[in-house]
Amino acid sequence: MDFVSQIRQAVKQSDPKTILLPEGEDPRILEAAIALKQENFIIPVILGTGQIIKATAEKHNFNLENIQIIDPKEQNNTDFENQYYELRKHKGVSPEDAHEIIRDPLFYAAMMIRNNQADGALAGAVNTTGNVLRAAIQVIGLAENITAVSSCFFMVLKDGTVLTYGDCAVIPDPNVEQLASIALSTAETHLKVVHQTPNVAMLSFSTKGSAKHDNVSKVVDATELVRKTRPGLNVDGELQFDAAYNPEIAKSKALGSPVAGKANVFIFPDLDAGNIGYKITQRLGNAQAIGPIIQGLAKPYNDLSRGCSVEDVINTACILGLMA
């Protein structure tokens, strides 16, 4: 069974999670919602302008009869507006601003999640990444012991092995605290979705002091911070990729390391390395890249590519169902 099929099977066997789709006016979202409901992967809830959703469904012959639809503009939003005002008044947000902002399905969805009315949300087919993350960060906030939102990719190798790479899409040049947060979040994502114990390699151009540089020191310090924050996590660094991945090379470069030669989670020191690394693995190694998966939030709110397919929406919603 391939990895995507494993994800779908796992989410189908778990307690169904309520996932919000706040771009309900897009036909891809409606088609995905119908499939998600029919297959019992999650409980989809569509958000958007009710009349446009209805017209889009009629145009494409979609039957939304058994799917809940919420139009934020038609709701009594006083509670959500007050909550948002209290959260953001220190940034100059007025009650009038809060009234308008909560009518935006992205923010309404985030507020539903904050109030435990849903388990997660998925957007980005229409909205920019910045708009999606802004709603999520402002309203949902960060997970405990996490200082930054980041991302990861699941890299499915030709033999079916799944490796998790972070961060490949969000933070250009993480500091020590951010790099530690990336490692903690990626390990958690790997555990929840891949269902494997994470062995976390903090990557560098140096292995165990083979080079001296401020960039190496950053990775060493981040590794120590990860250990201090989560003592039970199997993490080591700094490690070069070959020492982290290849058992034979690990014996000569990092003998005694608890991670070297068996890593399944790879934390890159910056976005240059992470983005280049996942694309090299994808193109030269013929690996399947699934992501980016947004992580580090108190509750999941994931971003989509605006060029996403219906299958992309379904698969990402299933991943959210496992992360929630």
Higher pLDDT, 307 or 107: 107
pLDDT for the residue 137: 97
pLDDT for the residue 260: 96
Q: Does the pLDDT of residue 321 top 90, yes or no? A: yes
pLDDT band at 221 (very low <50, low <70, confident <90, very high): very high
Q: Does the pLDDT of residue 69 top 90, yes or no? A: yes
Among 159, 143, 139, 119, residue whose Cα is nearest residue 21: 119
CA distance 320 to 324: 6
CB atoms within 10 A of CB 283: 10
Distance of CA 156 to the CA centre of its chain: 17
Q: 3-141+297-323 in CATH: which number?
A: 3.40.50.10950
pLDDT band at 279 (very low <50, low <70, confident <90, very high): very high
CA distance 200 to 193: 15
Sheet holding 301-303, edge to edge: 68-70, 43-47, 18-21, 120-123, 301-303
150-293 shares the fold of 3-141+297-323: yes
Q: Does a cis peptide bond (omega within 30 degrees of 0) precede residue 292? A: yes
Domain 150-293 has CATH 2.60.40.10: no
pLDDT band at 229 (very low <50, low <70, confident <90, very high): very high
- Contact criterion met (CB below 8 Å) for 140 and 41: no
Query: What pLDDT, in 10s, does the model give residues 5-52?
Result: 999 999 999 999 999 999 999 999 999 999 999 999 999 999 999 999
Cβ contacts of residue 109 below 8 Å, gap of 6+? 20, 22, 47, 118, 121, 123, 135, 301
Q: Give 302's strand partners.
A: 122
- What mean pLDDT is predicted for residues 70-90? 96
Q: In degrees rounded to 5, what are phi and psi of residue 228?
A: -70, -40
- Contact criterion met (CB below 8 Å) for 267 and 238: no
Q: Does a cis peptide bond (omega within 30 degrees of 0) precede residue 167? A: yes
What are the residue ranges spanned by the domains of the chain? 3-141+297-323, 150-293
Among 247, 293, 12, 301, residue whose Cα is nearest residue 133: 301
Query: What pLDDT, in 10s, does the model give residues 100-150?
Result: 999 999 999 999 999 999 999 999 999 999 999 999 999 999 999 999 999
pLDDT for the residue 61: 97
Between CA 220 and CA 226, with CA 224 as vertex, the angle to 5 degrees is: 115
Q: Give 164's strand partners.
A: 154, 265
pLDDT band at 306 (very low <50, low <70, confident <90, very high): confident
Q: Does the pLDDT of residue 305 top 90, yes or no? A: no
Supply 24's token pair: 């309900």
Mean pLDDT for all residues in the chain: 96
pLDDT for the residue 296: 96
- What mean pLDDT is predicted for residues 172-178? 98
The CA dihedral of 136, 137, 141, 144, to the nearest 10 degrees, is 110
Q: What is the DSSP letter of 140?
A: I
CA distance 238 to 224: 10
pLDDT for the residue 215: 95
pLDDT for the residue 1: 83
What are the C-alpha distances in Å from 47 to residues 19, 73, 100, 171, 214?
11, 10, 16, 29, 47
Q: Does the pLDDT of residue 295 top 90, yes or no? A: yes
Between CA 156 and CA 165, with CA 161 as vertex, the angle to 5 degrees is: 55
